[in-house]
Amino acid sequence: MGRIEKAFASAKKPAFIGFTVAGDPDKTTCIRIARALIAGGTDILELGVPFSDPVADGQTIQKADERALAAGTTPDTVFEIVTEIRKESDVPIVFLTYYNIVYRRGIERFYREAKDAGVDGILIADLPVEESEEVCEVAALCGIDPVFLITQTTSDERIKKIAEKARGFLYLVAVLGVTGVRDQVSDGAIDLLNRVRKHTGLPLALGFGISTPAHARTCTRAGAEGVIVGSAIVEIVEKNLGKPVSMERDLRTYVSQMKKDL
């Protein structure tokens, strides 16, 4: 049983999946951010591999990508960050990346290095399931779970295809649009959760726009096995740039408050 599967199987409550951009605002601070998220109770850590054109992300995470790239973050840096986290934590780690980054490095090399560093799952945001065969084969050889996005516009036929390829969990997009804090969880997100559940027994995690305990409660009471929070965490990082101690404190507090209401 892999770390992701174990995290869901052993959890007494739905999983809190915390996202931050690797290398934002720099390597050292990012490691401190990861440690703070884990200390606060994050069940699965999602690291965004910074990219120049993160089409799935809104302004908050785009700015984090820009900060990370300006600090000189490369895939090598991201692997080094994971290696450092692994020295003191066994929390499952998932990459959110884009296909260009994987392709340029070489699919086999990227996945092998990710596995060696301690990565458990990889979500390639712009890779359609119909073109994922090679990636899924390499992922299986490396023991890495391929995670896929499912949106409200995804047809039932494609949901079936995605569910057959996915491992670990499925990432359900709670909004129509890009990442970013929203006022409430849409009815469409709950409808999507119910629709996907008919096709798979994999854990379902809702993300995009989730930022408050009320959002988390809405998702988990509707049956989600996990909630994914990104922009709200990155906003805390941005608010505390240059103040690492208060950044860590605020991150721990935020995650622990969210966890209470899952």
How big is the chain, counted in residues?
Answer: 262
- Tell me how far the alpha carbon of residue 26 is from its chain's centroid: 19
Told to judge if 46 belongs to the known catalytic residues of this protein, a careful annotator would answer yes
Phi and psi angles of residue 237, each rounded to the nearest 5 degrees, phi first: -60, -50
Told to judge if 164 belongs to the known catalytic residues of this protein, a careful annotator would answer no
Place of tokens 């060696």: 116
The catalytic position among 5, 24, 43, 46 is 46
Three-state DSSP class for residue 228: strand
Three-state DSSP class for residue 198: coil
Closest of 179, 42, 48 to residue 119, by C-alpha: 48
Angle, alpha carbons 192-197-202 (nearest 5°): 120
Angle, alpha carbons 247-252-253 (nearest 5°): 100
Residue type, 152: Q
Tokens of 227: 């909630």
Cβ proximity of 234 and 59 under 8 Å: no
Q: Give the number of C-alpha atoms closer than 13 A to the C-alpha of residue 186, restricted to the C-beta side.
A: 17
The catalytic position among 5, 57, 113, 120 is 57
Tokens of 124: 């390639």
Residues belonging to the active site: 46, 57
